[in-house]
């Protein structure tokens, strides 16, 4: 048990207490961030004349060696230490003796952990954005290739109106685009440096907080030292954004599972992204889509968990806040792997275009267009709606679609029907005439794709952040 305190204690910490209290098992993930923060802190201490140049140099090379050794497996992070901060400091003291002991001047683990968590979350925000950026590129490519891939659009999971694959996937493009915007909003709000807040009330040393903030690429220092050490809003906001991403992915997965089913057969998931059954030789299961859908639960769980943890904590730091890490880290990693795997699966899907178009032709997806036809001929819409309703009933009885009826039969319902009805309600016309912004007509879609390509061009990963 190597701990950073003990002077005022007369007894050893109980082993079970020590283990319960320790966080090294999970906060070791923040080793890079912890060392990065210490490098900036010590550089500032030297600039301010709080430590000597010699001490700073010893600290710097010691910290760099620790990180190298950990990366090369020459130094193991064991649970002999309470947390990652103790691990780094204890090892630094081994290497740099008194200089190492000066590192923690003007700093508390409270502002240190607040900084590490911010840096870690900021890194994960960028990685998530990067994964979404790649996914958006996959989606837009599929959209461009499928402007005329007709399929039914659904409401209540019942065929509603015909659309295209480009249009359907375009809906997800908008969702993931909003997700990226949410991430960038969070980034803007969280990008301030808490280091220098000390335990809760700042410090008497003449720290240059602006300088440390600049070294760590923050916009500036946080403005209230109590808030600095007790704020985890940015973790909650990020978990919220991740939950929304998972909700989007989960909806997309649900559709892929449906479309891949024997009943739909709209798409086929590539062998590389499917799994088999141990007993049923015919099976090819959409496990990846199911797992992504399933993992949504644990990401929502992380959000609920931290919201609940934070709700009754008085200012400033309390140990409850150590609970911000495990589930959040799990959620960060889960979402990045889900986006990445989902993108791979999407990229390799094959489409049964014939069947999609056939499906769009059945199920009266052109009923609205048929009513609109009568409206253009002068009938009030409400009357047209009733006439087409009756035609649909007639067709259900005859087991056919509206366009399969003869003109005579149609005229039996309204003498406004003419020969041009067939053209007016063909699958192609039904889609291609929908030309308002955001509608599936390919000319309208082309414009939207142009706008979204410009968006991707203007919002590459590095430029946002
Ligand atoms: N492991 C702690 C955490 O994750 C670090 C901060 C400890 N601070 C303290 N005052 N005990 O929150």
What's the chain's average pLDDT?
96
Give the model confidence (pLDDT) of 99-122 as tens digits. Answer: 999 999 999 999 999 999 999 999
State the pTM of this model. Answer: 0.94
Give the model confidence (pLDDT) of 412-423 as tens digits. Answer: 999 999 999 999
Half-sphere exposure of 424 (CA within 13 A, CB side): 17
Nearest 10 degrees: Cα torsion 99, 101, 104, 108 = 180
pLDDT in the model for residue 431: 96
What phi, psi does 302 have (nearest 5°)? -65, -40
Question: How close is the Cα of 110 to the center of ligand 1, in Å?
Answer: 6
Looking up tokens 């889900």, which residue turns up?
338
- Whether 271 is covered by a domain: the verdict is yes
Instruction: Give the residue-averaged pLDDT of 224-235.
Output: 98
Residue 281, pLDDT above cutoff 80 = no
pLDDT in the model for residue 10: 81
Residue 73, pLDDT above cutoff 90 = yes
Give the model confidence (pLDDT) of 123-145 as tens digits. Answer: 999 999 999 999 999 999 999 99
Q: Which residues are catalytic?
A: 156, 277
Q: Which atom of ligand 1 is nearest to the CA of 84?
A: 1
pLDDT in the model for residue 2: 64
In terms of residue numbers, what domain contains 298? Answer: 110-357
pLDDT in the model for residue 465: 59
Looking up tokens 């769980």, which residue turns up?
301
What phi, psi does 161 have (nearest 5°)? -140, 155
- Whether 310 is covered by a domain: the verdict is yes
pLDDT in the model for residue 8: 80
Question: How close is the Cα of 120 to the center of ligand 1, in Å?
Answer: 16
- Candidates 445, 255, 213, 450; CA nearest to 346 is 255
The ligand 1 site (C-beta within 6 Å) comprises 23, 27, 83, 109-110, 113, 317, 319, 321-322
Residues 260 and 402 in one domain: no
Express as a percent the part of the chain with pLDDT over 90: 92
pLDDT in the model for residue 343: 98
Give me the CATH number covering residue 393.
1.10.40.30
Question: How close is the Cα of 194 to the center of ligand 1, in Å?
Answer: 14
Residues 456 and 319 in one domain: no
Residues 450 and 323 in one domain: no
- Whether 3 is covered by a domain: the verdict is no
Instruction: Give the residue-averaged pLDDT of 54-79.
Output: 98
Residues 299 and 404 in one domain: no
Q: Which atom of ligand 1 is nearest to the CA of 85?
A: 5
Residues 214 and 309 in one domain: yes
pLDDT in the model for residue 298: 98
Residue 205 and residue 48 in contact, taking contact as beta carbons nearer than 8 Å? yes
Q: Which of 62, 90, 105 is the last residue of a domain?
A: 105
């Amino acid at each position: 048990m190597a701990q950073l305190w003990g002077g005022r204690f007369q007894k050893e910490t109980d082993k079970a207490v020590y283990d319960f209290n320790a966080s090294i098992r999970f906060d070791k993930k923040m080793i890079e961030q912890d060392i990065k923060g210490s490098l900036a802190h010590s550089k500032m201490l030297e600039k301010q004349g709080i430590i000597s140049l010699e001490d700073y140099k010893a600290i710097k090379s010691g910290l760099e060696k620790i990180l190298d050794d950990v990366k090369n497996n020459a130094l193991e992070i064991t649970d002999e230490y309470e947390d990652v901060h103790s691990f780094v400091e204890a090892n630094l003291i081994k290497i740099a003796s008194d200089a190492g002991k000066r590192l923690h001047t003007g700093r508390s683990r409270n502002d240190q952990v607040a900084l590490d968590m911010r840096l870690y979350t900021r890194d994960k925000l960028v990685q998530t954005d990067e994964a979404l950026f790649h996914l958006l590129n996959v989606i837009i490519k599929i959209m461009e290739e499928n402007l005329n891939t007709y399929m039914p659009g659904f409401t209540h999971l019942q065929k509603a109106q015909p659309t295209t694959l480009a249009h359907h996937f375009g809906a997800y493009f908008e969702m993931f685009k909003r997700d990226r915007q949410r991430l960038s909003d969070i980034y803007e709000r969280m990008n301030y440096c808490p280091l220098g807040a000390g335990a809760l009330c700042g410090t008497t040393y003449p720290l240059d907080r602006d300088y440390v903030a600049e070294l760590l690429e923050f916009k500036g220092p946080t403005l209230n030292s109590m808030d600095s050490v007790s704020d985890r809003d940015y973790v909650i906001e990020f978990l919220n954004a991740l939950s929304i991403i998972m909700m989007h992915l989960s909806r997309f997965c649900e559709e892929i599972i449906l479309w891949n089913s024997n009943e739909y057969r709209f798409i086929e998931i590539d062998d590389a992204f499917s799994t088999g059954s141990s007993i049923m030789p015919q099976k090819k299961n959409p496990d990846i889509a199911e797992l992504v859908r399933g993992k949504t639960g644990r990401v929502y769980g992380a959000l609920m968990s931290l919201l609940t943890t934070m709700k009754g904590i008085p200012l400033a730091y309390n140990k409850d806040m150590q609970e911000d890490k495990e589930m959040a880290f799990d959620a960060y990693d889960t979402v990045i792997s889900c986006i990445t795997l989902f993108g791979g699966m999407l990229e390799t899907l094959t489409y049964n275009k014939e069947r999609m178009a056939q499906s769009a032709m059945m199920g009266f997806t052109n009923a609205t267009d048929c009513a609109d036809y009568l409206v253009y001929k002068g009938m009030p819409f409400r009357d047209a709606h009733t006439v087409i309703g009756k035609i649909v009933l007639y067709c259900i009885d005859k087991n056919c679609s509206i366009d399969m009826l003869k003109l005579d039969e149609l005229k039996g319902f309204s003498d406004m029907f003419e020969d041009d009805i067939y053209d007016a309600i063909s699958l192609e016309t039904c889609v291609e005439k929908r030309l308002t912004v955001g509608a599936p007509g390919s000319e309208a879609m082309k414009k939207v794709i142009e706008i979204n390509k410009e968006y991707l061009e203007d919002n590459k990963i590095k430029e946002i952040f």
